[in-house]
């Protein structure tokens, strides 16, 4: 008797894809969600002009915006090493370090490259005076074909729930707070800028498809 699992549709996994450079993407670091989050909270806010300009329009309702809405996302990712630990010969890294590598990959989305930090320190040591900032990786949230957007990881809250005998975490929960980076935030010609525009166009196409469907349904109503 065949297993019922063979009839189940293949489940796509959400992922974060990180590129160190916006202009020369190179080989990305990919964080595939072991388990897709059960919920995702999305908040959109209008992108308004300056406070002074808004004050001039207080006497009337203004529909002016300076670009696409600002969008924030909140989701929780669960990590569990139990399956890998059941087959230790196939997962020596997990046996040796538990979830540390997976958590480190997530955390590094908030770090600039150590090479840039060390280079800056060396230049400072030899007397090169500079005031500079560092860039974190360009990250794409891939959540199915209809949602591929550049994001910035604003905060990462990790709860480690269980440990092995070496005190490596083997069960953890990571809460991610993300800001969707739009083409209004990114430099033209960069990877994120192009992805954002493509997402905007795709959203308009989805909205149009829904309007066509609604119009057909209204046209076929019996009245």
Q: Tens digits of per-residue pLDDT, 188-223?
A: 999 999 999 999 999 999 999 999 988 888 888 776
Residues 97 and 84: beta-carbon distance below 8 Å: no
DSSP H helix total and E strand total for the chain? 6, 7
pLDDT value, residue 55: 54
pLDDT in tens, 143-155: 998 999 999 999 9
Distances (CA, A) of 137 to 153, 176, 203: 10, 16, 25
Contacts of 30 (CB under 8 A, 6+ apart): 15, 16, 17, 18
Query: Which range, of 56-65, 171-180, 183-192, averages the lowest pLDDT?
Result: 56-65
| C-alpha of 7 from chain center | 31
Cα torsion 184, 40, 144, 203 to 10°: value is: -40
Q: State the pTM of this model.
A: 0.80
């Amino acid at each position: 008797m065949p297993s019922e699992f063979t009839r189940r549709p293949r489940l796509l996994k959400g992922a974060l894809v990180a590129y160190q450079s916006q202009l020369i993407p190179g080989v990305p670091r990919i964080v595939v969600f072991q388990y897709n989050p059960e919920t995702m909270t999305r908040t959109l806010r209008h992108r308004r002009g300056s406070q002074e300009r808004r004050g001039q329009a207080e006497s009337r309702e203004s529909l002016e915006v300076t670009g696409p809405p600002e969008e924030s996302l909140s989701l929780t990712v669960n990590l569990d090493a139990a399956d890998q630990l059941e087959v230790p010969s196939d997962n020596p890294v997990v046996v040796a370090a538990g979830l540390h590598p997976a958590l480190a990959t997530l955390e590094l989305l908030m770090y600039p490259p150590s090479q840039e930090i060390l280079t800056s320190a060396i230049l400072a040591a030899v007397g090169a005076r500079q005031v500079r900032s560092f860039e974190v990786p360009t990250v794409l949230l891939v959540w199915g074909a209809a949602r591929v957007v550049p994001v910035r990881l604003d905060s990462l809250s990790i709860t480690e729930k269980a440990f092995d005998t070496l005190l490596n975490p083997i069960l953890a929960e990571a809460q991610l707070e993300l800001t969707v980076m739009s083409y209004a935030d990114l430099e033209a010609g960069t990877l994120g800028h192009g992805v954002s525009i493509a997402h905007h166009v795709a959203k308009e196409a989805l909205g149009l498809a829904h309007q066509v469907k609604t119009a057909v349904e209204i046209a076929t109503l019996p009245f």
